[in-house]
Amino acid sequence: MQMIELKTVKARMESDWSDKVHTYNIDSLCVNLTNDSSLLLWRAGATRIPADQSTPTSYENFTQEALAAGESARQKSINLRSTLNKMYIESIKDLRHQATCVDVALAENVKLTQDCLQQLEKELLCCLNELASTEKLIEELRDSTKGLNNAMKLAQTRLDNRLNRPNVESCRDAVQFALIEEAKSLGEQTSAMLAELKRTEESQANLVKARGTLEHEIMVKRKTLYIDKERGQVLRSFFPSTTDLSGF
């Protein structure tokens, strides 16, 4: 709108200036005419007064209005440039302030991600150690179960062999009752051992699942850290300075 106003006033003043130059040339010619000039001719009707002819007052008013319109448009343009310059400076300050806030927030996020990554890695190490201990315990329980099975086989074999004693020799003596108690005790120990083995295997499965979750979270955090630190912060280090934003 300011450009349109300036162009309109410019066109008006150029037209007025052109008319005044033309008028000046005519009046200069008239001043230089004498009774002996070769350009003197009969001009019928030269003494008439055209209806659209201006008066000195209207002439002066028209000229003053044109000058006032030009000065007004010029002042508006100056004021607009001053206002735009202030707005531009404030915008640059806001951009730099926002960029600083983003850099601080990004640095804090990178630090938090690094701390979280370290905690996850420590947790993963503990999980791996616990998993190794659990696997070792499972092997020990299986070996113990195998030993109990062999002991049960021994007790059952002894009892079965003693059932083959002939006639009165097949006696319910203390040895037989001791073998029966031994077989019962071994059966209870085996059941308890198998239950413990099952619980340990379930714990192992949970640890394996937890390890997978931790490894996935570590991978995600490392990817996030790479994007924020190796790419985000590096790219933001090329953020235009105040001088660049000002166009210099």
Confidence of residue 248 (pLDDT cuts 50, 70, 90): low
- What is the share, in percent, of the chain residues with pLDDT greater than 70? 99
SS (H, E, C) 178-212: HHHHHHHHHHHHHHHHHHHHHHHHHHHHHHHHHHH
For residues 184 and 45, the model is more confident at: 184
DSSP state at residue 169: G
Structure tokens at 170: 């097949």
Tell me the per-residue pLDDT of 67-120, one tens digit each, with 9 for 90 and over.
999 999 999 999 998 888 888 888 888 888 898 899 999 999 999 999 999 999
Nearest CA to 136 among 203, 215, 190?
A: 203
- What is the share, in percent, of the chain residues with pLDDT greater than 90? 43
Going from the C-alpha of 204 to that of each of 127, 131, 137, 188, the distances in angstroms are 10, 6, 10, 24
Tell me the per-residue pLDDT of 215-241, one tens digit each, with 9 for 90 and over.
999 999 999 999 998 888 888 888 887
pLDDT at 65: 92
pLDDT at 121: 94
Structure tokens at 243: 């001088």
Residues 177-196: what's their mean pLDDT?
85
CB 179 within 8 A of CB 155: yes
Task: Read off φ and ψ for residue 50, nearest 5 degrees.
Answer: -60, 145
Tell me the per-residue pLDDT of 122-159, one tens digit each, with 9 for 90 and over.
999 999 999 999 999 888 888 888 888 888 888 888 88
Confidence of residue 166 (pLDDT cuts 50, 70, 90): confident
Domain boundaries, the chain: 2-20+65-245
CB 158 within 8 A of CB 182: no
Fold for domain 2-20+65-245?
Helix Hairpins (1.10.287)
Out of 14-23, 92-101, 177-186, pick the least confident: 177-186
Confidence of residue 247 (pLDDT cuts 50, 70, 90): low
